[in-house]
Amino acid sequence: MAQALLAAAAGHAFAHGAEVVEGYPVDPAQRPKAGPADLYHGTVGLFLSAGFEVASEAVPGRAVVRLAAPRPGADAPSD
C-alpha cells in the first residue's frame, strides 16, 4: 500500500510540473526504536525501491531522498 501511495504522490507531483520530489524517511536500522510519529514519513528502503536516491544523511537515522522527474522521451524505445 505504501509503495502505491508513494508512486501516486510522485506521479501527481510530476504531472503538475514538479521537477524533483523530496522525502525525509527514517532508516530503521539506525533508529530501531522509531515510533509511528517518525515512521509515517516512510522508510529509506521504501523510497529507494521507488527509485529515489539519497541526497543527504546529515541527521543520523533520517535521510533526505530525491527523485527527479522523468525526462520527456527518456522511456521511448530507440531504433
pLDDT digits (tens, 9 = 90+) for 26-64: 999 999 898 888 888 899 999 999 999 999 999 989 999
| Separation of CA 13 from chain center | 12
Check if the beta carbon of residue 64 is closer than 8 Å to that of residue 22: yes
Reply yes or no on whether the pLDDT at 79 is more than 90. no
Q: Hunting for cell 521511448 — which residue is that?
A: 76
Task: Classify each residue of 6-33 as buried b or exposed e, where b means 16 or more C-beta atoms within 10 Å of its C-beta.
Answer: beeebeebbeeeeeebebebbbeeeeee
Residue 4 CB: number of other CB atoms within 10 A?
Answer: 8
pLDDT digits (tens, 9 = 90+) for 2-35: 999 999 999 999 999 999 999 999 999 999 898 8
Reply yes or no on whether the pLDDT at 76 is more than 60. no
Reply yes or no on whether the pLDDT at 68 is more than 90. yes
Domain ranges of the chain: 2-68
